[in-house]
Amino acid sequence: MTDIDQEFEFYVGPATHLEGASLAIDGTARIDGKIVGKVSVKHLIVGVGGVVQGDISGETATIEGTVEDTLSLTGKLTVCASGRIRGKIQYGALQTEEGAKLVGEITTDWDQDLGQPIVSSRLEAFNAGATMSDDGQTLDT
């Protein structure tokens, strides 16, 4: 067994092009070649020369190469300096290095963490503050 076989449940080497794939990987997948298709994986690593195009879903990902189309993660997305992502991106947490590129519709689970939109909270706080005097007493209007 090689080191690569021991570290990853699925590996695509740099000289490999896999098209029309629909993969479900319960573990870690490393892509140094090219995959076009649907990928569901616990943790995805796209190497510097790697390309993944299609619908990608999973928990976490580390991107050093290129991802295009849809990337939907429930956990942390790490985009390295050489990483490029274009398309619809959804993540739980985000870490980027200087030089990383993200282009497209980018969303997170912001509202789930806060319980309510921040704009509403700020507006309510402003309105509450506007009806108080300098000594903290409520003003009659």
Each residue's pLDDT tens digit, 60-94: 999 999 999 999 999 999 999 999 999 999 999 99
Q: Which amino acid is at 138?
A: T
Band of residue 117 on the pLDDT scale cut at 50, 70, 90: very low
For the chain, the domains span 3-130
Band of residue 130 on the pLDDT scale cut at 50, 70, 90: low
Looking at residue 7, its pLDDT comes to 85
Tokens of 59: 């928990």
Cα distance between residue 15 and residue 114, in whole Å: 45
Q: Which amino acid is at 84?
A: R
DSSP state of 138: B
Region at 99 (left for phi over 0; alpha for psi -120 to 50; beta for the rest): left
The whole-model pTM stands at 0.75
Q: For 6-11, what is the mean pLDDT? A: 87
Cα distance between residue 24 and residue 26, in whole Å: 7
**Residue 53 · residue 69 · CB < 8 Å:** yes
Each residue's pLDDT tens digit, 20-75: 989 999 999 999 999 999 999 999 999 999 999 999 999 999 999 999 999 999 99
